[in-house]
Structure 1
Amino acid sequence: MKTVEIRAEVAPELALFVPHARRGGAHPLAVDGVSTLGHVIESLGVPLTEVGALVVDGREVPSGHVPAAGESVAVRAVRRPQHVPGAPLRFLLDVHLGTLARRLRLLGVDAAYESTDIGDPALSARSAAEKRVLLSRDRGLLRRRELWAGAFVYSTGPDEQLHDVLDRFAPELRPWTRCTACNGVLRRATKEEVADQLKGGTQKSYDVFAQCAECGRAYWKGAHHEQLEAIVERALAEFA
């Protein structure tokens, strides 16, 4: 099969996937003349979930475009905030993003999470069935065709991960309305309703409680509340 040469420029935001993009500018790239631009980009290591506009010789083209010899391709990053059409904004996180899932739930964001490794096919199938944006650091998982929508989580630190997701998707924030354990919706509860979950000191010291409508877990402003409050306040100050 005869190869042809194009020139490709990858956005600096995608340099994590294509190291030479850090140097900037367009670079020569040999392609086979039959593969789509989407396939070419993925072969460079860039998940299509991270790609915004594809511009060939000044005109925007779909990922199914087959690049021809001499074309100049600009691969742009997803524009922020990113709008995901077709369903309410909801997330699904893989097994490695438990802390991020709990922080999103703390902010009232619908964030399903698999605490065990159920495998890529099952995760992508759930994303499609429930119309959830799959968040992952696994590039291979984000390349699965059955995904409804996905996004790469760029950082390994929970603070930076949360900032990245809120900045990219701008979800509505409703702190203290979701169970951080199971993602269920919280409701106000009396002390009597949650008495079986309270130890002696807690029962004497607190009077305001919430309870998850799904799993029944009780919540109150306990020893870690200030730490959680700080997370909420930072998020609201920047993204509310």
Structure 2
Amino acid sequence: MNGPEIHLAFAPELHLFVAAERRGGRTALATDGSSTLGHVVESLGVPLTEAGQLLVDGSEVAVSHIPAAGESVEVRAVERPQRLPEGPLRFLLDVHLGTLARRLRLLGVDAAYFSEDIGDPALATYSSRDRRVLLSRDRGLLRRRELWAGAYIYSDRTDDQLRDVLSRFTPTLAPWTRCTACNGDLAPATKETVRDLLEGGTERSYDVFAQCTGCERVYWRGAHHTRLQTIVDDAVREFGGAGAQQSPQPS
């Protein structure tokens, strides 16, 4: 590009997205004179889902701003906690984030997830249709215009991913209320109503059950209770919620 030259600076949190030569401070960039500032930012590697305020000569502008010669641009990171339009906070996770989806559901957070790859266009359309925040480590997916909202998952470790999402969006936590398999709601169940779905040892050893109102999976406090309870306790202690009551769990 050989159009108007501007000077850009990216917040440190965004440095992982941009080339090394643009991580130090303000650097010069020749634009084409017609592309929006949002397009310029994305062309340099930063998904707009991760960009916060865009400042031109100290004043905030929209992503639709057309840069002019000599402008000084500052690209800030998205503010945390991030505020979204009013309505229920719901998530959609791509095929690579199944464990994170189950952790969110364990905490009572609405997290849709497909175990098979349905393709980027379908995910983006689902996000828009259901007004869900798409969580992904795929930068290209997060650049799709159809998205209602999205967020880049910075770590490949599930514990860090969970803390990142909870700190960024501060969803209301209601542990043990959602099916970790299908995302449906859990309801109390008696042993009599679920007896036909239990193995003999489970029927003899447990008396408290819950059942998914969607897929009808049965839950009880099984062998993995201590590990899952620790996940719940840690999240509630750090981010608040309805409390880590002693409830049935996946077994």
- Between the aligned residues of both structures, percent identity stands at 69
* Inter-partner Cα distance in structure 2 for 1:11 and 1:29: 17
* Inter-partner Cα distance in structure 1 for 2:69 and 2:132: 38
* Inter-partner Cα distance in structure 1 for 2:23 and 2:39: 23
Q: Does 1:227 align with 2:227?
A: yes
Retained in 2: the 8 A contact 1:54–1:74? yes
Q: Deviations over 1:71-105 (max 9, x none)?
A: 11000011000111042100000100000000000
Q: Kindly report which structure 2 residues correspond to 1:103-182, keeping only aligned pairs within 5 A, or say none.
A: 103-182=103-182
Retained in 2: the 8 A contact 1:12–1:21? no
After superposing the two structures, state which structure 1 stretch, 75-84 or 198-207, moved more. Answer: 198-207
Retained in 2: the 8 A contact 1:6–1:68? yes
Retained in 1: the 8 A contact 2:110–2:183? yes
Retained in 2: the 8 A contact 1:15–1:21? no
Q: Does 1:25 align with 2:25?
A: yes
- TM superposition shift of 1:21: 7.3
Q: Kindly report which structure 2 residues correspond to 1:1-240, keeping only aligned pairs within 5 A, or say none.
A: 2-20=2-20, 23-240=23-240
**Any stretches of 5+ residues in structure 2 without a counterpart?**
241-251
Q: Deviations over 1:39-65 (max 9, x none)?
A: 000000110011110000010000001
* Inter-partner Cα distance in structure 2 for 1:190 and 1:118: 37
- TM superposition shift of 1:239: 0.3
- TM superposition shift of 1:23: 4.3
Query: What is the TM-score of this pair, normalised by structure 2?
Result: 0.93
Q: Residue 115 of structure 1: SS of its match in structure 2? A: coil
- TM superposition shift of 1:2: 3.7
* Inter-partner Cα distance in structure 2 for 1:100 and 1:22: 32
Q: Deviations over 1:143-173 (max 9, x none)?
A: 1111111111111110000000000000000
State the match for 2:247 in structure 1: none
Q: Residue 49 of structure 1: SS of its match in structure 2? A: coil
Aligned residues: 240
- TM superposition shift of 1:22: 7.7
Retained in 2: the 8 A contact 1:48–1:143? yes
The one-letter code sitting in structure 1 at the alignment partner of 2:173 is L
Retained in 1: the 8 A contact 2:186–2:211? yes
| Shift in alpha-carbon separation, 1:199–1:22, aligned structure 2, 3 A | farther
* Inter-partner Cα distance in structure 2 for 1:199 and 1:94: 33
* Inter-partner Cα distance in structure 2 for 1:219 and 1:192: 14
Q: Residue 202 of structure 2: SS of its match in structure 1? A: helix
Q: Residue 52 of structure 1: SS of its match in structure 2? A: strand
- TM superposition shift of 1:68: 1.0
* Inter-partner Cα distance in structure 1 for 2:19 and 2:175: 38
